[in-house]
Structure 1
Amino acid sequence: MENISLLLSEALAPYQASLGPVGAQGERLVTLKNAVGATVIERVFSSAQLGDRRQLTDVVDGLHRDLMVAEGRIEPCVIAAMRNATQVAAFAAPQAFV
């Protein structure tokens, strides 16, 4: 799992990622700290999310989004609008029936 910590730190540079101890159900606390050591984000992820390459990509994407919100570069309402637009587009797309 320490490799996961290094991968997260590389993907989320300049933030330093660290993994907390394993919880009762295999979950881990991921903490992101800025250059001065202040905690910016703490999130809990399952061992499955951290152990699977595709899910780990989703974890990194989510943390990038959370960092953008924390840094004031994007508003949470913008994220909600983007999600809504994606869902509406997926719903409106013609479906092939087999």
Structure 2
Amino acid sequence: MENISLLLSEALSPYQATLGPAGFHGERLVTLKDSTGTTVIERTLCVAQLCDKRQLTDVVDGFHRDLLVAEGRLEPSMIAALRHAAQTRGFTAIQAF
């Protein structure tokens, strides 16, 4: 799991990722800290999310999105609007046929 922590830290640089000890069901607490040591995000993840390459990619993407929100560079309502626009475009393309 130390390798996972290093991979997360590298992918989420300049933030430092640490994995907490395994919980009762194998879940792990992932903590992201900024350069001053302040905790920015904490999230509990199941082992499968950390061991499967595709799920780990989704975890990193989620952390990137959450960091944008935490930094004030993206509003949560904007995420919802973007998702809605993507769904609408998908439905429009299907209806055109």
2:71 aligned partner: 71
* Number of aligned positions between the proteins: 95
| Unaligned ranges ≥5, structure 2 | none
Tell me how far 1:85 sits from its aligned partner.
Answer: 1.6
RMSD across aligned C-alpha pairs, in angstroms? 1.3
SS in 1 for 2:94: coil
Deviations 1:29-49, CA, capped at 9 Å, x for gaps:
100000010100001111111
Counterpart of 1:21 in 2: which secondary structure? coil
Q: Give how far 1:27 is off.
A: 1.0
String of CA shifts for 1:4-48, please: whole Å, max 9, x gaps. Answer: 000000000000000011111221110000001010000111111
1:94 counterpart SS class: helix
The TM-score with structure 2 as length reference comes to 0.91
Deviation at 1:88, TM superposition (A): 2.4
Task: Please name the residue that 1:90 is paired with.
Answer: 90
For the residue of structure 1 that corresponds to 2:43, the secondary structure is: strand
1:32-90 superposed Cα distances (whole Å, 9 cap, x missing partner): 00001010000111111111000000000000000000000010000111111222233
Is 2:5 aligned against 1:8? no
Aligned to 1:53: 53
Q: What's the % identity of the aligned pairs?
A: 71
Matches of 1:46 and 1:90, distance apart in 2: 31
Aligned to 1:26: 26
